[in-house]
Amino acid sequence: MTTDKPEGLSPRSTSRGRPRTTGTATCARCGRAAGRTRATWPEGRICGPCFTAATRTTGTCPDCGQHRLLPGPQDSSGGPRCAPCAGILHDFHCTRCNVEGEFYRRGICARCALREDLNEQLLTESSGPETASRIVDVLCKADRPESIITWKRSPKVQDLLRSLSSGETPLTHEGLDAAAESANREANHLRALFIHHGLLPYQDPYLARFETWVDDKLRDLSEEVAKPVAQFATWHHLRRIRSMTTPEKSAQAPVHSAKQEITETIKFLDWLWETHQRTAASCTQQDIETWLATGPTTRKAVRTFIVFIKNTGTNHRVDMGHYTAKTRPAITQDQRVAWLRELLTGTSESLTYRVAGILLLLYAQPLVRVAKLRTDAIETNESTGNMWITFGPHPVPIPEPFADLLREHLKGRPNLRTGSDAQSPWLFPGTRAGQPLHPNGIMDRLRSLGIDLRGARNTALDEHLLVSPPPLVADALGYSHQIAFLHADAAGDAWSRYVNLRTKP
């Protein structure tokens, strides 16, 4: 179905990868010209892309009923078929592991080639063969070992692997922290792999980077500013974030908020000292009012610090109320419906980001929460095919055609073939093993289409509040009752006066 795209849409190019090589030979499967062919099978000459696709297709052969590699062509009677049933004489079994597939090197598959390279690189010079062997096993677990072969060609990766296997860099978080000074991306990628496969204990990456960030922030501050900021960062933020962070609950959102508050606090204390020669202990209420009135609204983030110094007895004379936004972004319901139609039926984005955008537009879900959704949040009734998704205490139904789109996404989740595996719990697996997509990446992709993210979420929540009481909407969509009532008041609908019967007297 052809539909008009919403205003502001900037479609991404669908042309990717290298162009096919042209030549005189014609592939018997795709019919395209090829400069050279990879094989000659009963139906004719086979080009490289078709050969690769054939040698990576597995399933149950319709002729012999065996579950194995299916390189044979598909025809009107079924298919594809295994090599013997299709009349292909080539033996695709790896000479080492006996697994059927495309040969990567001299009769062996890519996984065996990767293990051969790693054993030669790590075990021959290892002072701790047990550690080196565990590293090799982890890297060889990748669903797509070809990607690890390409990745380890980097000199930084080779130096890091050699240092770990020789014992020069301890296989600990502290050892990888030291290695990250010269090879940050490589060390953090290995850290994620090792955590995911149990070689290292769990450590939240955002919390670890936040601790380093705090140290860097404090390094160049004057003593009058550094001391209260260090107390605020350590005793309020770090203690709170450490206590709440688990493998199931990432520190990403609280760390992001803490960075904003610490940054604004440093600006305030710098201004206070340079302008009035006063510190956190001696600042006045007038200082706070002047600071807030003469700058952007981001200065409201100092409120947490003001509450902190008051509660800890540093300064009892100051106070700061909650900030109330003067504007409330929203889009029209027609715009929301147009964006839903585009993400459901259009091709302007990849499937992953279309699903994420629909969760925002349909269920008013913040993208920070969307990124952290797990596959077990989705339930399917096998007999009826109905689907539900859980954001709060109670699951909510998933309507068609979104349910079909979600099923398609679940069958082909991205980023499962390098560091993670098919058992990843995340609905949107990230490029780093064991971690979901970063919400900022999702935000950037949807913003590039022209979607007003905050406006879309507000409008979606308003529409739910028009037809259901705030407590029911809150329980269904994972919001607090207080937030639901605040949105109902802002939207001006009749449910804002609804009595919350769930509240105990």
- The reported pLDDT for the residue numbered 12 is 47
Rounded Cα gap, residues 413 and 378, in angstroms: 14
List CB contacts of 442: < 8 A, sequence separation 6 or more: 353, 356, 367, 370, 371, 428
Question: Alpha carbon of 238 to those of 244, 245, 311, 400: distances in Å?
Answer: 10, 11, 17, 44
Low-confidence stretches of the chain (pLDDT < 70) are 1-23, 77, 125-127, 323-326, 417-422, 491-505
- The reported pLDDT for the residue numbered 278 is 93
pLDDT digits (tens, 9 = 90+) for 200-245: 888 888 888 899 899 999 998 999 999 999 999 999 999 999 988 8
The CATH topology of domain 333-497 is hpI Integrase; Chain A (1.10.443)
Rounded Cα gap, residues 402 and 354, in angstroms: 10
The sign of the CA dihedral 183, 142, 411, 345 is positive
Q: Residue 47: in which H helix or E strand, if any? A: strand 44-47
Rounded Cα gap, residues 321 and 303, in angstroms: 8
Secondary structure E strands in 296-430: 378-380, 387-389, 396-398
**Per-residue DSSP letters for 11-28?**
PPP---SPPPPP-SEE-T
List CB contacts of 343: < 8 A, sequence separation 6 or more: 349, 354, 357, 358, 361
- The reported pLDDT for the residue numbered 251 is 85
Angle at 309 (CA atoms; ends 306, 312), nearest 5 degrees: 145
Helices (H) and strands (E) in the chain, counts: 22, 9
Rounded Cα gap, residues 259 and 13, in angstroms: 36
Rounded Cα gap, residues 164 and 279, in angstroms: 47
- The reported pLDDT for the residue numbered 420 is 53
- The reported pLDDT for the residue numbered 75 is 75
pLDDT digits (tens, 9 = 90+) for 311-339: 999 999 988 887 666 677 889 999 999 99
Domains in the chain: boundaries? 25-71+80-86, 110-202, 206-311, 333-497
For residues 455 and 331, the answer to whether their CB atoms sit within 8 Å is yes
- The reported pLDDT for the residue numbered 325 is 62
